[in-house]
Structure 1
C-alpha cells in the first residue's frame, strides 16, 4: 500500500499526541463511512467505528480497494489523567503481499498509538498551548514521532448528511514543512472525522469525505448532530 494511502487510513501518522494531562470527556460510540481519494489510486471507502467493550474503548479503521486493503485497531481506557492506550494492531496488504504490526500496553506506556490519539487530538484541539502546540506519539512500529497542530476555526460544514459544526485543525510534521493535514472534527463527538485533506509540495494528494454516520446516543437525546 502506498505511503499516502496508508498515511490516511491509520489516522494517518500525523493525528497523534501526548495523552498525559488531557482531561478527556466521555467518548461517544459512533460508526462512519468515508469516500477516500488518493492521487494515482482508485477511490475507496473507509469505515471508522468507535465502540465500548467491557469498560474499554476501541477505535477501528479499515479500507479495501481492488488491489490493496488496510486495517488499524486501537484499544484504550479513560484514566484520571486522560486516555490510556492499551493495545494497537494493524495490517496492510498490496497485491497479495502484506505486513502486520502490534503494540502492547508496555510499548504504549509513554505515548499512545495513533488510533487512541485520533480521539484525543479532537478533544485537545481547542486548548491553548504555551507557544507551539506539539504532540508526541508512536507510529505503527512503535517509533517515537512529533507533530505540531493548531486550531484554524469553528465553522458549520455543509455535508451530505446535513450541516454539522466542525473544528478545523491543521497538523504538520516539523521535519517535513512541505506536508500538512487539514482536518475537520465533529465538535461534539471526539475522534469523529467530518473531512480531511493531505497536502504535499503545495498540492492536495488525498481527500477524505464523510458519506454517512450513525450517532445512536445523540439521536436518542434529540440531537442527531
Structure 2
C-alpha cells in the first residue's frame, strides 16, 4: 500500500480489530449493511459490509470507495464458541497504485484475521465478560501480530439513518498510542454488525461512521 500517515491508514480501514479467548456466542446472522464515512481532510465515502453463510462457514466482505482510494477485505471463518479464521484476502489502491495481501489457513492457525476478529469482538462486547482493560491479539493484513486493549462502555440508544437501535459500545486503543481511540457501537443481537464508529486522536474526533442502510433477513 502506498505510504500514508498511520492515522490515515486507520481511517481508511475502520474495521481493523482484534480477538481473544472464547465467550458465550450469540447466533450469527447474515446481513447487508451500508455506511457513510466522514473523514477529516478526505472526501466522504460509502462502506459496504456483507456477512453471508456458506455451509458451516461464514464469509465477511467489506469494501470502501473514496474519490482517491479503494479498499476491500474478504474473510472466511468458522464461528463456534470461538472464531477460527480459514482464509483472508485484501486489496487497496490509492491514486491508481495498489497492492494485494492474503493469509492462508496455516498463517491463521494461531490468531485470526481482523475481519473475523471484528465479528468476535462484537460477541465479546455483548457478553460483557471482561473487566477493563482487556488485552487482545490479531493478525493485520500483512500477517503481523498486533496487540490492542479494549474496554466496555455503557450501552446507549442510537438514532441513525437506518433506524433506531440499542448499541453495545467498545473503546479500542493500542498500548503505544493511548491518544488514538476507536469507539465502536455494535448491534447487540447481530454479531459483527457495526452501527457506528468514531476515531479520536489528541482528544478530537477525526472520523465518523454511521449505518445508513440495513438488510437483515428474518431468521
Question: Please, what TM-score do these two structures have when normalized by structure 2?
Answer: 0.92
Shift, 1:162, TM fit: 2.3
- Write the distance in 2 (CA, Å) between the matches of 1:123 and 1:50: 15
Equivalenced residue count is: 215
For 1:36-75, list aligned pairs within 5 A: 36-75=37-76
1:100 positional shift: 0.6
Say whether the 8 Å CA contact 1:186–1:193 is kept in structure 2: yes
Q: Is the 8 A contact 2:160 2:211 kept in 1?
A: yes
- CA contact under 8 A between 2:136 and 2:149: conserved in structure 1? yes
Structure 1 residue matching 2:61: 3-state secondary structure: strand
Contact kept in structure 1, 2:26 and 2:189, CA below 8 Å: no
Q: Which runs of 5 or more structure 2 residues have no equivalent in the other structure?
A: none
Task: Tell me how far apart the structure 1 counterparts of residues 30 and 128 of structure 2 sit (CA, whole Å).
Answer: 23
Residues 147-206 of structure 1 deviation map (CA, whole Å, 9 limit, x = unaligned):
111111112211223211110111111110111011110011001011101011112111
Instruction: Specify the alignment match of 2:10 in structure 1.
Output: 7
Give distance in 1, aligned partners of 2:129 and 2:79: 22
Aligned-residue CA RMSD (Å): 1.7
Secondary structure of 1:216's counterpart equals coil
Partner of 1:221: none
Q: 1:74 to 1:185 in 2, by over 3 A?
A: same
Contact 2:132 2:150 in 1 (8 A): no
Contact 1:73 1:90 in 2 (8 A): yes
Q: Which residue of 1 aligns with 2:173?
A: 172
1: CA distance, partners of 2:49 / 2:112: 18
Residue equivalent to 1:112: 112
Aligned to 1:88: 88
Q: 1:152 to 1:215 in 2, by over 3 A?
A: same
Residues 59, 75 of structure 1: 8 Å contact kept: yes
Aligned-residue offset at 1:5: 5.1
